[in-house]
Amino acid sequence: MSSRRARRHARPARRRPLLSSVLAAAVVVSGTAAGTVHVKREALGKGGAVSSSPTSSAAQAGEETSVEPVTAPEVNGDGLLAAALRDVAVEDGAELSVAVLDTASGRSAVYGTAQCETASIVKADILAALLLQTQDAGRELTAQEREYAAAMIEESDNASATALWRTIGGAAGLDAANERFGLTATEGGQDGLWGLTRTTAADQLVLLRQIFGDEEESELSAASRGYLQELMGGIAEGQDWGISAAGSDFALKNGWLPRTATGLWVVNSVGRVTADGEEHLVAVLSRGSTTKEKGIAMVEAAARAAVSAVSAP
C-alpha cells in the first residue's frame, strides 16, 4: 500500500455541540413539483466495481431483475433548502437527496426521502461498525485491520472493504451497529453486496453526527471518532470531490457506481466541510446520471446550495 499523503484538511479548532433535532423536508428533484413522479429507469442492475472479492467482482456486485417504477414523494417541508436546490441542474429522470447541518447554529434540513444505494460511502459506516465492535470487546484494531481501514477509506479499496465487511459480520453486523447509532432507514446489502446497502440522506446525517459529534451524542469513543475523521480527511487526490466543493477544510467519503442494467450512475458524497469558518455536515445522494462526471457536478452543486441555505441569516 502506498504511503499516506500529508494531511491537507486539518480539523478546525473551533468546535461546538451539535443539536439533536433535524428538520425534515421531502422534495423531489425531477418531475412535477408535487404528487407522484415515476422515474424513467425501471430496474437496477449489476453493482460494477463497488464490491469485489477474490472470486468474482461481478458476483459480489450482484444483479437485480425486478422491474419497478421509482415513486417520488410530494413536496413537504423546508423552503430555504428546496428553493436553493431548484437552481441545481438535474438530468431528466435523475434523483437527488440532501441532508445538511450547520453545527454552529444547529440549523438543519433534509431534502428527499428516497432510499438509495450507498456505493462506497458505506465504507465509512463499515469502519464505524468495526470500531464500535472493538470498543465493546475492549480491544484495539489489529495492524491488519488498520491497513484495511486506511486503504478502504483513503483509497476506496474494494478488497479491503470486503475483508472488513466480513469482519463485522456482514449486513447483520452493520445493521446492529446502525441501530445503536440511530439510523432507521439503512439496510445492509445482502449476500455480501455491501455496495448495494440502501440508505437515506437523513440517515447519513445521523451517521455523520456519530462520527463528527461530541462524546455525549455518539456511541463512538473520542479515539474512534478521531481515527475515522483522520482517514476521511486524507482522501486520495482524484477522489476528494463532492461535498468538498462547498468549502475549504473537509473530511469525506464518496461513492460512485454504474448500474449495468441501465448504464446510469449512482454518485454520493458525505462528510464535513468548513465554509466561512463554520462547520457543516453534508450528505448528498444521487442516482440516474448518464455519466459519472454529470453526477459529480450535480452532487457538488447540491452541496454548495445546501450549505448556503442553512447558513443564510
| Three-class SS of the chain | CCCCCCCCCCCCCCCCCCCCCCCEEECCCCCCCCCCCECCCCCCCCCHHHCCCCCCHHHHHCCCCCCCCCECCCCECCHHHHHHHCCCCCCCCCEEEEEEEECCCCCEEEECCCCEECHHHHHHHHHHHHHHHHHHHCCCCCHHHHHHHHHHHHCCCHHHHHHHHHHHCHHHHHHHHHHHHCCCCCECCCCCCHHHCEECHHHHHHHHHHHHCCHHHCCCCHHHHHHHHHHHCCCCCCCCCCHHHHCCCEEEEEEEEECCCCCCEEEEEEEEEEECCEEEEEEEEEEEECCHHHHHHHHHHHHHHHHHHHHCC
Range with lowest mean pLDDT among 70-79, 96-105, 163-172: 70-79
Residue 14 lies in a domain: no
300-313: average pLDDT: 91
Residue 11 lies in a domain: no
Residue 10 lies in a domain: no
- For residue 262, the model assigns a pLDDT of 93
Cα 99 to Cα 96, 215, 302, 313: the distances in Å are 10, 22, 10, 19
User: Is residue 250 pLDDT above 60, yes or no?
Assistant: yes
Residue 2 lies in a domain: no
The whole model's pTM is what?
Answer: 0.78
- For residue 79, the model assigns a pLDDT of 81
- In the chain, how many domains are there? 1
245-264: average pLDDT: 95
- For residue 80, the model assigns a pLDDT of 86
66-78: average pLDDT: 35
Residue 151 lies in a domain: yes
Instruction: Please tell me the distance from the alpha carbon of residue 250 to that of residue 280, in angstroms, as a whole number.
Output: 9
Report pLDDT digits (tens) over 156-183: 999 999 999 999 999 999 999 999 999 9
> Among 69, 76, 84, 67, which Cα is nearest to 35's?
76
Instruction: Please tell me the distance from the alpha carbon of residue 230 to that of residue 139, in angstroms, as a whole number.
Output: 20
CB atoms within 10 A of CB 198: 16
Instruction: Please tell me the distance from the alpha carbon of residue 124 to that of residue 277, in angstroms, as a whole number.
Output: 25
Report pLDDT digits (tens) over 37-68: 222 333 333 333 333 333 333 333 333 333 33
C-beta of residue 46 within 8 angstroms of C-beta of residue 35:
no
Write the CATH number for 206. 3.40.710.10
Residues of the domain holding 169: 24-311
HSE, side-chain direction, 13 A CA sphere, residue 164: 31
Q: Would you place residue 313 in the very low, low, confident or very high pLDDT band (cuts 50, 70, 90)? A: low
User: Is residue 31 pLDDT above 70, yes or no?
Assistant: no
Instruction: Please tell me the distance from the alpha carbon of residue 73 to that of residue 227, in angstroms, as a whole number.
Output: 37
- For residue 260, the model assigns a pLDDT of 86
Strand pairing of 24-25 and 108-111? parallel
Cα 183 to Cα 31, 80, 89, 273, 293: the distances in Å are 29, 25, 29, 22, 30
Q: C-alpha 171: how far from its chain's center?
A: 17
Residue 4 lies in a domain: no
Instruction: Please tell me the distance from the alpha carbon of residue 234 to that of residue 247, in angstroms, as a whole number.
Output: 16
Residue 18 lies in a domain: no
Q: Would you place residue 241 in the very low, low, confident or very high pLDDT band (cuts 50, 70, 90)? A: very high
Residue 191 lies in a domain: yes
238-257: average pLDDT: 97
Report pLDDT digits (tens) over 280-306: 999 999 999 999 999 999 999 999 999
User: Is residue 253 pLDDT above 80, yes or no?
Assistant: yes
Residue 191 C-alpha cell reads as 449476500
- For residue 312, the model assigns a pLDDT of 64
190-208: average pLDDT: 97
Instruction: Please tell me the distance from the alpha carbon of residue 87 to that of residue 281, in angstroms, as a whole number.
Output: 21
Instruction: Please tell me the distance from the alpha carbon of residue 195 to that of residue 180, in angstroms, as a whole number.
Output: 21
User: Is residue 71 pLDDT above 50, yes or no?
Assistant: no
Angle at 145 between CA 51 and CA 257, to 5 degrees: 20
